[in-house]
Amino acid sequence: MVTTKNIWESLEKVSDPEIPVLSIVDLGIVRNVEIDKELCTVTITPTYSGCPAMHTIEQEILTTLSPIIKTEVKSTLSPAWTTDWMSENGKKKLREYGIAPPENEVDKSVLFAKPTIVPCPKCNSQDTKMISQFGSTACKAHYQCNHCLEPFDYFKCLR
């Protein structure tokens, strides 16, 4: 008998194709798992409207779960994804991978405001600077550490 707990554990093995260190559960994009008799329904939500990874993630879920149970994947837009849904474990994994995890601050309200202080994931210095609000993927900004000079990605806060 497959339980939703088994399904959640299996989904822990499905990683985000653009940030392979994170599972889709860490990222908070799995919104619901339901089992109705022989059918499992997994509901996911995109991080950004244009996230190109959604189709791959859907395929990965089907590949992972189909040996266990008949599965369908649904996509929902509301409530809209926020970085608050990222797990603590996910943030820790990001930092170890070299990507600064989201700080609890949305850097978009004030023009030319001092950018959010993001500690360097390599040397932990607070002395870093934002290079660009838009980084290698829609969910990241581009930063550089003034202390160790390492350029790094910041997973920007979205609320």
48 sits near other proteins (criterion: CB under 8 A): yes
142 sits near other proteins (criterion: CB under 8 A): yes
Contact pick of 4, 32, 125, 133 for other proteins (by CB under 8 A):
133
Structure tokens at 90: 């996910």
- What residues have CB less than 8 Å from 155, skipping those under 6 apart? 83, 86, 94, 99, 100, 101, 102, 139, 140
- What residues have CB less than 8 Å from 127, skipping those under 6 apart? 120, 145, 146, 147
Please give the DSSP secondary-structure letter assigned to residue 142: E
Contact pick of 2, 9, 52, 92 for other proteins (by CB under 8 A):
52
1 sits near other proteins (criterion: CB under 8 A): no
Q: Scanning the structure block, which residue is given the tokens 């309200």?
A: 109
Q: 6 vs 115, which CB is nearer to other proteins?
A: 115
3-class secondary structure, 81: coil
Query: Which range binds other proteins by CB under 8 A, 11-19, 75-83, 91-99, 145-153?
Result: 75-83
Contacting residues toward other proteins, per CB under 8 A:
46, 48-52, 76-82, 108-109, 111-112, 131-138, 142, 158-159
